[in-house]
């Protein structure tokens, strides 16, 4: 799994490629934590390249979502593939965070 | 021919993928995923079924690794095998750690707002929602046996467990 981060306007976009599972979720956590620690708390996580996510990935997303919101920002998702969307729905995540079809929609949603 | 008690008398124990033993801890997740991928390739299942089996297997394996320490605090090995009928696949994980009672798993909180929502605790919930039948037999002679049964065709609906 790889994560690349780009600054886009005043949001950061973390683009993930590969599976987010028990072994790879800590790497994603580290990247998102680093951004939050730098004060970059308007976050878009692009999951277009992710076909698989387990509960470890959900924990990472929720942990980062809470941190970002507590710092006055947010974490929003894009590019949800069917399996990933299903896991988010089954886990009740779709009621607590926003997801968008495209990364530019997600960036625009921050109204910046 | 070995039958699967969970699938009934017309089931076949699969020799491909060959039953295997995973030694060690979570770093062996890739071996588990390889087994499930090979099983799904052999059974030529749709993506939805592959995803469900792969995820349920990981969640079950994680649970075993969390609870399954032996007296020397080393990870229990996990035996993997599979059975099939024309309609269903059974993935079997057998460990020799401490047994636990799935009924003791509290219901997952999937409704609280983001601030109250606990981090974690959805693994079993996902297994139950994705898998058609889940059977747990603790303390058999071979160990604690967890069987995940999934219909081979898409669009199956899990029974209540």
What pLDDT does B97 receive?
Answer: 85
Over the stretch B92-146, which tens digit does the pLDDT of each residue have?
999 988 887 777 888 999 999 999 999 999 999 999 999 999 999 999 999 999 9
H-helix segments, chain B: 29-43, 47-67, 123-130
What pLDDT does B25 receive?
Answer: 81
**Distance, CA of A51 to CA of A99 (rounded, Å):** 16
What pLDDT does B144 receive?
Answer: 93
**Distance, CA of A41 to CA of B118 (rounded, Å):** 21
CB atoms near residue A112 (< 10 Å): 10
Residues 6+ apart with CB under 8 A from B139: B99
The gap between the terminal CA atoms of chain B, to the nearest Å, is 29
Min mean pLDDT across A22-36, A73-87, B65-79, B94-108 is at: B65-79
Contact list in B for residue A95 (CB cut-off 8 A) is 111
Q: Check CB contact of B122 with chain A, cutoff 8 Å.
A: yes
Q: Check CB contact of A54 with chain B, cutoff 8 Å.
A: yes
Q: Cβ separation of B51 and A83 shorter than 8 Å?
A: yes
pLDDT at B153 over 80: yes
Residues 6+ apart with CB under 8 A from A40: A7, A12, A73
What pLDDT does B160 receive?
Answer: 45
Q: Which among A21, A59, A63 is the nearest to B58, CB-wise?
A: A21
A44 φ, ψ (degrees, to nearest 5): -115, 130
Over the stretch B33-69, which tens digit does the pLDDT of each residue have?
999 999 999 999 999 999 999 999 999 999 888 876 6
Contact list in A for residue B109 (CB cut-off 8 A) is 92
What pLDDT does B15 receive?
Answer: 85
Residues 6+ apart with CB under 8 A from B150: B49, B52, B53, B56, B88, B89, B91, B130, B131, B132, B156
Taking CA atoms, B100 is separated from A18, B29, B96, in Å, by 33, 21, 11
Cis peptide preceding B55, ω within 30 of 0 = no
pTM for the full model?
A: 0.91
Residues 6+ apart with CB under 8 A from B18: none
Per-chain mean pLDDT for chain A:
96
Structure tokens at B140: 């058999």
């Amino acid at each position: 799994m790889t994560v690349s981060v780009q600054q886009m306007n005043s949001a950061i976009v973390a683009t993930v490629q590969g599976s987010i599972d028990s072994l790879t979720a800590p790497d994603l956590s580290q990247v998102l934590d680093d951004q939050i620690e730098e004060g970059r708390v308007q976050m878009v996580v692009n999951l277009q390249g992710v076909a698989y996510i387990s509960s470890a990935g959900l924990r990472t997303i929720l942990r980062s979502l809470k941190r970002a919101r507590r710092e006055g920002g947010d974490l929003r998702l894009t590019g949800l593939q069917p399996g990933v969307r299903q896991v988010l729905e089954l886990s009740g995540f779709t009621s607590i965070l926003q997801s968008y079809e495209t990364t530019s929609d997600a960036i625009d949603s921050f109204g910046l | 021919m070995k039958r699967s008690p969970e699938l009934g008398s017309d089931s076949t124990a699969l020799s491909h993928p060959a039953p295997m033993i995973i030694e060690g801890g979570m770093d062996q997740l890739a071996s588990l995923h390889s087994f499930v991928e090979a099983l799904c390739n052999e059974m030529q299942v749709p993506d939805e079924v592959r995803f469900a089996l792969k995820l349920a297997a990981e969640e079950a394996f994680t649970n075993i690794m969390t609870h399954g320490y032996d007296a020397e605090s080393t990870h229990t090995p996990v035996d993997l095998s599979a059975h099939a009928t024309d309609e269903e696949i059974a993935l079997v994980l057998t460990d020799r750690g401490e047994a636990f009672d799935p009924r003791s798993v509290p219901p997952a909180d999937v409704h609280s707002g983001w601030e109250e929502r606990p981090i974690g605790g959805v693994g079993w919930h996902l297994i139950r929602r994705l898998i058609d039948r889940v059977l747990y037999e603790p303390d058999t002679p071979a160990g604690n046996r967890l069987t995940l049964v999934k219909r081979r065709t898409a669009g199956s609906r899990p029974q209540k467990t």
